[in-house]
Amino acid sequence: MAELTRIVLAGEGGQGVQTVAEILAEAANEEGKQALYIPNFGVEQRGGVSVAYVQISDRQIGAPKFQTGDIVIALSDRAVHRTQKYVGPQTTFVYDSTIQGLEGELPENAGEVLPIPAVEVAKKEFHPRVFNIIILGAVVGASGVITLEQAKAAVEKRLGYKFTKQPELRDLNFRALERGAGMAVRRAG
């Protein structure tokens, strides 16, 4: 893993990007890494693009926000527009390929562009409610900041109380996590 990984997650309110960012940062912290997570927030209570900034490092982390992300994940058409400015030649840009009408809208300067059919997979293979877990898997797959096992432990910590009541949910979430990780494997590795 690189010394410092910068991740931008963006989507519509309700898609769970802040939850994914929080689970990821907490999991990294649990592993003894330095982690910093900051949500964007404004006066609006609902609507608007929700953006989360996560930095994970072995060393002390600087400013909470940054100019260019190593991994930028956009989960809606508005999020694709909103996150263009965080993309640079070293950036892996991940977007949901279910989004229509993105011809010519994807960042041309990205190091790599990874389409992932997360919405479709969530709907057809799992359940729409595990969409954010698929995304967490994709972030883990693309960034490698934590291992899949560590991600599972973080999900267990977060949703364990639900799993106790409905054990089949554990399997559903873990499979969604693995599926997400498998979708976002970078060419460069």
Partner 1 sequence: MSQKVISAEKRAFMTGNEVVAWAALAAGAEIMYGYPITPQNEIMHYWTRLAPKYGRSFLQTEDELSAGFTTAGGVMAGRKAFTATSGPGNTLMQEPMSMAEMMRLPTVVVVQQRGGPSTATVIYSQQEVTLTTIGGNGEGMRIVYSTATHQELFDYTIKAFNAAWKYRFPTFVLGDGYQAKMREPLTIYDPAERGIGMVPPEPFVGKEGIPGEDRPPAQYRNTFNLEEELYEKVMADVSEYEKIAPEVAEFQADGTEDADLVLVCHGVVFRAVREAVAKLREQGRKVGYFRPVTLRPLPVRQLREMVGKAKKILLVESAYGQLARLFKEAAYGSGTEILTLFRPGLGITAGEVEAKVKEILT
Candidates 73, 74, 68; CA nearest to 90 is 68
Give the pair of three-digit tokens for residue 137. 């898997």
From the list 14, 62, 160, 182, which residue makes contact with partner 1 (rule: CB under 8 A)? 62
65 part of the interface to partner 1, by CB under 8 A: yes
Q: For partner 1, give the closer residue by CB, 36 or 114.
A: 36
Alpha carbons 124 and 96: distance in angstroms, whole number: 15
Size of the site for partner 1 (CB under 8 A): 22
From the list 1, 2, 63, 185, which residue makes contact with partner 1 (rule: CB under 8 A)? 63
* 3-class secondary-structure state, position 162: helix
Strand ranges (E), the chain: 4-12, 34-39, 49-57, 71-74, 92-96, 112-116
64 part of the interface to partner 1, by CB under 8 A: yes
From the list 3, 43, 103, 128, which residue makes contact with partner 1 (rule: CB under 8 A)? 43
Residues forming contacts to partner 1 in the complex (CB under 8 A) are 22, 25-26, 29, 34-43, 61-68
